[in-house]
Amino acid sequence: MKKLKSNLVNMTVVLTVISVIAGGVLAYVNQVTQGPIAAINEQKLQDGIKQVILGTTDGELNVEQPDTLDGGYVLYKTDKGTAVMAIENGFAGPISVLVGFDEQGAVKGYTILATSETPGLGVKADTWFQKDGKGSIIGRNPGEKELVVSKDGGDVDAITASTITSRAFLKAVNNAYQVYKNNGQWTDTNSGASQKAH
């Protein structure tokens, strides 16, 4: 077989063929994995709602149709409590937090649904603010006193070497409380504009 001459046209043709084949393979893999990934994410969300409301992923929980608000907030009303998903930008990117509230507005529990924070530092938000964590917020009511890191004049211990992540996490919890308090309506504290659920 005669070897192709190395020139710009031949290299362009070969690169184009490789790119088309690689693109087709990636599209196929995406199509095949899209359903299972969506199912895994839905199960993670359902387990998260149970965890923040019941304190365990066992047990039954009836969840009403969620209310979705601008800004990434989602309100989940259940027969045993209310959970709110909030997203805030941390040090390395968005942090998606699911927070459960009791009837008085105290934090029952929380879980981190997604984060891109620094391994070993910012990812500690998953445990740092839990009941036995150094910066525990469980049982605290953001309506009585906003949750703020001690470095900013508050009384919540920030994650060591991750103050930006801690601020973002607490802002997400405080905003989630506002959605809970307003029963599916969130007021942007920067502009004062109200946003209703869709």
pLDDT in tens, 36-87: 888 888 888 889 999 999 988 888 888 888 888 888 899 999 988 899 999 9
Give the separation between CA 170 and CA 29, rounded to whole angstroms. Answer: 38
Share of the chain above pLDDT 70, in %: 90
Each residue's pLDDT tens digit, 79-121: 888 999 999 988 888 999 999 999 899 999 999 998 877 777 7
Look up residue 12 and give its amino acid. T
At residue 169 the predicted structure's pLDDT band, cuts being 50, 70 and 90, is very high
- Spell out the long-range contacts of 74-79 with Cβ–Cβ below 8 A and sequence spacing 24 or more: 75/179, 75/180, 75/183, 75/184, 75/197, 76/49, 78/49, 78/53
* DSSP-derived secondary structure for 141-173: -TTTS---BGGGTSSBPPPTT-HHHHHHHHHHH
Q: 69-94 b/e with 16+ CB inside 10 Å = b?
A: beeebbbbbbeebbbbbbbbebbbeb
Question: For the chain, how many helices (H) and strands (E)?
Answer: 3, 7
Q: How many CB atoms lie within 10 A of CB 96?
A: 18
Specify the pTM. Answer: 0.76
At residue 191 the predicted structure's pLDDT band, cuts being 50, 70 and 90, is very low
